Structure 1
Amino acid sequence: MKVAVVGAGSVGSSIVRELCGHGHQVVVIDEKPDAIGRADLRNNHWIVGDACDPMVLREAQLEQMDVIVAATGDDKVNLVVSLMARSEFGVPRTVGRVNNPKNEWMFDQAWGVDVAVSTPRLITALVEEAVEIGGVVRLLNLQSDRATLNAFTVPREHDLVATTVGEVPWPQEATLVAILRDGLPIAPTDDDVIEAEDELFFLATGDGEGRLHRLFAR
């Protein structure tokens, strides 16, 4: 997969290292020439320039990218880059970093953002996931809040324990996509038996998320 990462700060650099470690082709765009000096990033393809300049994005051959990650520390830059990537270069997938939670409402498809990643929201979700058993926890917003990734940890005395996936009347607006059991992911089938302390992961619409809350409240 070809990925462009805008911003080579601590967040962007970490993303680049992870993507390269997974075998993806990465182009790094940053306006600071000294960012290239990082020893662990020198082997990547670099473009030095302002990512808000269409000429810089054209030099990076953005039209060939599968994904762009706008990971700078400036929300305005991340929004502009996402919008240009989608509208001018047709990049099929855009990920935007949200630095200030007050700006999160702007990171939607009107600005070309498919997935908005808010560090405060993620930390809150992870804290809730760690301590809240028996409650639906939203982990991530997808496609401009039209879909969400949710997790539910099954309590020991819950009605779901010892039932099969196929027996549960899941909401039509929510799809069980994975079960995490003893640290191992399971691709769920109708015959899988739900166990206590299983972590269930769902993709859901807003209505589906509400129906999951009602289902698990039994």
Structure 2
Amino acid sequence: MTSIATPTEPDRDCAICPRLHDFIAGWRLREPEWFNAPVPTWLPEGGLEEVRLLIVGLAPGLRGANRTGRPFTGDYAGDLLYSTLTSLGFAEGTFKARPDDGLKLKGAAITNAVRCVPPENKPVGAEISGCRQFLSPTIDTFPNLKAIVTLGSIAHQSTIRALGARVAAHPFKHGTRSEVGNRVVFPSYHCSRYNTNTGVLTPEMFINVFKNVRAFLGD
């Protein structure tokens, strides 16, 4: 698995957000075999220049990416995300919910607005803005980036701010698209089990977002 090196990624013991730092420290004691650190951006084998699509989630799940070290790996959200990406050619291989499953991204990268797992999956405002110092350069490091899918309103708002634009001018609304500079942002409801169980998001709604991305990229 390829990831971006600093300064686009926080240090393993990043203490910018004391609450998140202490939360991870506690889980390192409880589960020393887990990843328990800021989860790095996942890149395709072709590296930065291959990336035309960036997917921005909210934050690692406690028993998902915080455990495995790969975004959206180890919880239900990954099942829906990676099956969708594979069906539309943004990934290849078989997703088995572990970082050594051999799954590969194709022309896409995946990151989170907040790189550290937050208690109850709820980062606070200062943590979201604090981690934007990594999100902004992450976006800028892809020379051929054209499309960004934002999963959920918090990830969307942080991405818009990272792009230097006003949230009011680019509000979150599932299934829409918004031009921000030379990139197009595609907002989607987060692919969490809660959203799919409650009917906020259906697999068809989610797949349609990425179909729109594929059509936009012209592949």
Asked which structure has the greater RCO (Cα within 8 Å, sep 6+), the reply is: 2
TM-score normalised to the size of structure 1? 0.30
Q: Which has the larger radius of gyration?
A: 1
TM-score normalised to the size of structure 2? 0.30
